[in-house]
Amino acid sequence: MIRNVLGSVLALTGAAAAVLSPFRDWYDGRLGRHYRVDELFTGITAGRPGPLGSILVAFLFSALLAVVGVVVRSRLLVASAGVVVLGFTVLWMVRQGESVGSLTVAGDGSGLGWGVAGAAAGGVLLLAGAAVMSGRRGAGHRSVHERHDRPYAAPGSENPDTWPPTQEPGPSVQTSTLPEPEPELYTGPDPAERHRPVPGSGPGSGSAPGADGRPQG
Protein backbone atom coordinates (compact mmCIF):
# COMPACT_ATOMS: atom_id res chain seq x y z
CA MET A 1 0.00 0.00 0.00
CA ILE A 2 2.73 2.47 0.99
CA ARG A 3 4.79 1.56 -2.07
CA ASN A 4 1.84 2.20 -4.37
CA VAL A 5 1.19 5.61 -2.80
CA LEU A 6 4.84 6.65 -3.00
CA GLY A 7 5.19 5.37 -6.55
CA SER A 8 2.01 7.17 -7.59
CA VAL A 9 3.31 10.46 -6.17
CA LEU A 10 6.59 10.09 -8.04
CA ALA A 11 4.82 9.16 -11.28
CA LEU A 12 2.36 12.06 -11.14
CA THR A 13 5.16 14.50 -10.30
CA GLY A 14 7.15 13.25 -13.27
CA ALA A 15 4.14 13.52 -15.57
CA ALA A 16 3.53 17.11 -14.48
CA ALA A 17 7.19 18.03 -15.01
CA ALA A 18 7.13 16.49 -18.49
CA VAL A 19 3.99 18.38 -19.52
CA LEU A 20 5.29 21.71 -18.23
CA SER A 21 8.72 21.36 -19.82
CA PRO A 22 7.65 22.34 -23.40
CA PHE A 23 6.47 25.71 -22.06
CA ARG A 24 10.01 26.57 -20.96
CA ASP A 25 13.19 27.32 -22.93
CA TRP A 26 14.90 24.34 -24.50
CA TYR A 27 17.72 25.91 -26.49
CA ASP A 28 18.72 29.52 -27.20
CA GLY A 29 15.46 30.82 -25.76
CA ARG A 30 13.28 28.63 -28.00
CA LEU A 31 10.38 26.96 -26.20
CA GLY A 32 9.96 23.22 -26.37
CA ARG A 33 6.49 23.50 -27.89
CA HIS A 34 8.05 25.32 -30.87
CA TYR A 35 9.68 22.08 -32.05
CA ARG A 36 7.75 19.79 -34.36
CA VAL A 37 7.50 16.09 -33.55
CA ASP A 38 8.64 15.07 -37.03
CA GLU A 39 11.75 17.27 -36.64
CA LEU A 40 13.04 14.76 -34.10
CA PHE A 41 13.30 12.27 -36.98
CA THR A 42 14.10 14.50 -39.95
CA GLY A 43 16.13 17.32 -38.42
CA ILE A 44 15.60 20.59 -36.57
CA THR A 45 14.28 23.55 -38.60
CA ALA A 46 13.37 27.15 -37.81
CA GLY A 47 9.65 26.64 -38.48
CA ARG A 48 7.07 26.61 -35.71
CA PRO A 49 4.45 23.87 -35.60
CA GLY A 50 0.75 24.07 -34.84
CA PRO A 51 -0.78 23.05 -31.51
CA LEU A 52 -1.21 19.42 -32.57
CA GLY A 53 2.17 19.00 -34.21
CA SER A 54 4.56 20.05 -31.47
CA ILE A 55 6.51 17.93 -29.05
CA LEU A 56 3.95 18.87 -26.42
CA VAL A 57 1.54 16.30 -27.89
CA ALA A 58 3.96 13.46 -27.18
CA PHE A 59 4.40 14.60 -23.59
CA LEU A 60 0.65 14.93 -23.10
CA PHE A 61 0.24 11.37 -24.31
CA SER A 62 2.91 10.22 -21.84
CA ALA A 63 1.16 12.03 -19.00
CA LEU A 64 -2.11 10.33 -19.93
CA LEU A 65 -0.38 6.94 -19.83
CA ALA A 66 1.04 7.75 -16.42
CA VAL A 67 -2.34 8.79 -15.00
CA VAL A 68 -4.03 5.65 -16.30
CA GLY A 69 -1.18 3.54 -14.94
CA VAL A 70 -1.55 5.12 -11.50
CA VAL A 71 -5.32 4.59 -11.47
CA VAL A 72 -5.12 0.92 -12.43
CA ARG A 73 -1.81 0.44 -10.56
CA SER A 74 -0.01 -0.73 -13.69
CA ARG A 75 3.75 -0.48 -13.48
CA LEU A 76 4.03 -1.22 -17.20
CA LEU A 77 2.00 1.85 -18.23
CA VAL A 78 3.91 4.16 -15.90
CA ALA A 79 7.25 2.81 -17.10
CA SER A 80 6.13 3.18 -20.73
CA ALA A 81 5.32 6.85 -20.09
CA GLY A 82 8.79 7.39 -18.66
CA VAL A 83 10.43 5.69 -21.64
CA VAL A 84 8.48 7.89 -24.08
CA VAL A 85 9.46 11.11 -22.28
CA LEU A 86 13.14 10.18 -21.99
CA GLY A 87 13.20 8.82 -25.53
CA PHE A 88 11.85 12.02 -27.08
CA THR A 89 14.17 14.14 -24.92
CA VAL A 90 17.27 12.21 -25.91
CA LEU A 91 16.20 12.15 -29.55
CA TRP A 92 15.74 15.93 -29.48
CA MET A 93 19.20 16.39 -27.99
CA VAL A 94 20.70 14.30 -30.77
CA ARG A 95 18.93 16.29 -33.53
CA GLN A 96 19.67 19.60 -31.89
CA GLY A 97 23.33 18.68 -31.56
CA GLU A 98 23.44 17.79 -35.24
CA SER A 99 21.79 21.11 -36.10
CA VAL A 100 24.13 23.43 -34.16
CA GLY A 101 27.23 21.24 -34.13
CA SER A 102 27.38 20.80 -30.34
CA LEU A 103 25.23 21.34 -27.29
CA THR A 104 26.33 23.93 -24.77
CA VAL A 105 25.16 25.14 -21.40
CA ALA A 106 25.57 28.89 -20.81
CA GLY A 107 24.50 31.14 -18.00
CA ASP A 108 22.99 33.74 -20.35
CA GLY A 109 20.40 31.27 -21.67
CA SER A 110 22.07 30.75 -25.05
CA GLY A 111 22.50 27.01 -24.56
CA LEU A 112 20.39 24.26 -23.10
CA GLY A 113 17.49 25.61 -21.09
CA TRP A 114 15.52 24.45 -18.08
CA GLY A 115 12.87 22.89 -20.27
CA VAL A 116 15.21 20.06 -21.28
CA ALA A 117 16.15 19.50 -17.65
CA GLY A 118 12.48 19.38 -16.69
CA ALA A 119 11.70 16.84 -19.39
CA ALA A 120 14.64 14.62 -18.40
CA ALA A 121 13.71 14.85 -14.71
CA GLY A 122 10.10 14.00 -15.52
CA GLY A 123 11.12 10.86 -17.39
CA VAL A 124 13.39 9.76 -14.55
CA LEU A 125 10.64 10.32 -11.98
CA LEU A 126 8.21 8.27 -14.05
CA LEU A 127 10.63 5.36 -14.19
CA ALA A 128 11.34 5.69 -10.48
CA GLY A 129 7.62 5.67 -9.73
CA ALA A 130 7.16 2.49 -11.77
CA ALA A 131 10.05 0.86 -9.91
CA VAL A 132 8.67 1.80 -6.48
CA MET A 133 5.08 0.75 -7.15
CA SER A 134 4.19 -2.76 -6.11
CA GLY A 135 1.45 -3.04 -8.72
CA ARG A 136 -1.82 -4.89 -8.43
CA ARG A 137 -1.84 -8.16 -6.47
CA GLY A 138 -3.59 -11.08 -8.13
CA ALA A 139 -5.40 -13.98 -6.55
CA GLY A 140 -2.22 -16.04 -6.42
CA HIS A 141 -0.21 -13.35 -4.59
CA ARG A 142 -1.87 -13.44 -1.20
CA SER A 143 0.14 -12.65 1.87
CA VAL A 144 1.55 -15.35 4.11
CA HIS A 145 -0.91 -14.54 6.89
CA GLU A 146 -3.87 -14.79 4.53
CA ARG A 147 -2.75 -18.21 3.37
CA HIS A 148 -2.24 -19.48 6.94
CA ASP A 149 -5.52 -18.05 8.22
CA ARG A 150 -7.59 -20.12 5.84
CA PRO A 151 -9.18 -23.16 7.57
CA TYR A 152 -8.22 -26.62 6.46
CA ALA A 153 -10.80 -28.41 4.38
CA ALA A 154 -12.13 -31.73 5.65
CA PRO A 155 -10.85 -34.75 3.71
CA GLY A 156 -13.08 -36.55 1.28
CA SER A 157 -14.36 -40.07 1.51
CA GLU A 158 -11.46 -41.33 -0.59
CA ASN A 159 -8.93 -40.38 2.12
CA PRO A 160 -10.64 -40.96 5.48
CA ASP A 161 -7.42 -41.28 7.48
CA THR A 162 -5.87 -37.87 6.66
CA TRP A 163 -7.53 -35.84 9.43
CA PRO A 164 -6.27 -33.91 11.40
CA PRO A 165 -4.28 -31.88 8.84
CA THR A 166 -0.94 -33.12 10.17
CA GLN A 167 -1.24 -35.80 7.49
CA GLU A 168 -0.43 -38.44 10.12
CA PRO A 169 -2.33 -41.73 9.95
CA GLY A 170 -5.41 -41.64 12.13
CA PRO A 171 -7.50 -44.45 13.61
CA SER A 172 -9.11 -46.90 11.35
CA VAL A 173 -12.47 -45.86 9.94
CA GLN A 174 -15.48 -48.18 9.59
CA THR A 175 -15.97 -48.47 5.85
CA SER A 176 -18.76 -51.08 5.92
CA THR A 177 -22.36 -50.01 5.38
CA LEU A 178 -23.48 -52.23 8.29
CA PRO A 179 -23.49 -50.85 11.84
CA GLU A 180 -20.38 -51.50 13.87
CA PRO A 181 -20.91 -54.41 16.34
CA GLU A 182 -21.19 -53.35 19.97
CA PRO A 183 -19.20 -55.20 22.65
CA GLU A 184 -20.97 -57.39 25.28
CA LEU A 185 -21.22 -55.34 28.46
CA TYR A 186 -22.42 -58.14 30.85
CA THR A 187 -19.49 -59.83 32.56
CA GLY A 188 -21.29 -62.05 35.16
CA PRO A 189 -21.96 -65.81 34.95
CA ASP A 190 -23.98 -67.25 32.19
CA PRO A 191 -27.72 -67.03 33.06
CA ALA A 192 -28.18 -70.60 31.80
CA GLU A 193 -25.98 -71.87 34.66
CA ARG A 194 -28.55 -70.70 37.27
CA HIS A 195 -31.24 -73.15 36.09
CA ARG A 196 -28.94 -76.17 35.75
CA PRO A 197 -29.87 -78.77 38.47
CA VAL A 198 -27.25 -79.68 41.05
CA PRO A 199 -26.39 -83.42 40.98
CA GLY A 200 -28.14 -85.37 43.81
CA SER A 201 -30.48 -82.56 44.80
CA GLY A 202 -33.45 -83.39 42.62
CA PRO A 203 -36.59 -85.45 43.59
CA GLY A 204 -36.06 -89.13 44.03
CA SER A 205 -32.52 -88.74 44.98
CA GLY A 206 -33.17 -90.77 48.20
CA SER A 207 -31.85 -88.24 50.65
CA ALA A 208 -33.01 -85.00 52.09
CA PRO A 209 -30.96 -82.20 53.39
CA GLY A 210 -30.50 -81.95 57.14
CA ALA A 211 -30.56 -78.91 59.33
CA ASP A 212 -27.04 -78.07 58.39
CA GLY A 213 -27.84 -78.29 54.65
CA ARG A 214 -26.02 -81.61 54.18
CA PRO A 215 -27.84 -84.54 52.66
CA GLN A 216 -28.80 -87.26 55.08
CA GLY A 217 -28.05 -90.68 53.90
pLDDT single digits (tens) 124-138: 999 999 999 987 765
Mean pLDDT score across all residues of the chain: 76
In this prediction the pTM is 0.61
Residue 144: what pLDDT?
47
3-state secondary structure of 216: strand
- Per-residue pLDDT of 20-51, as tens digits, reads 999 999 988 889 888 988 888 888 888 888 77
